[in-house]
Amino acid sequence: MIQLRLPWPVSTNKAWTPTGRKGLRLNPKAKIYRLAVKSYVLAAKLQGLPMCGPLEIKITLLPPDRRNRDQDNFAGKSLLDALTKAGVWNDDSQLKRTVIEWGNVMRGGQVLLEIKSFAGDAVKRRDGE
Residue 60 · residue 115 · CB < 8 Å: no
Residues 6+ apart with CB under 8 A from 71: 61, 100, 102
What digits encode the pLDDT tens for the residues 70-119? 999 999 999 999 999 999 999 999 999 999 999 999 999 999 999 999 98
Judged on CB neighbours under 10 Å (0-12, 13-18, 19+), 24 is: exposed
CATH superfamily of 2-117: Holliday junction resolvase RusA (3.30.1330.70)
Count CB neighbours of 78 within 10 A.
Answer: 25
Predicted confidence (pLDDT) at residue 125 exceeds the cutoff of 70: no
Q: Where do runs of H (alpha helix) occur along 10-116?
A: 12-15, 28-44, 71-75, 77-85
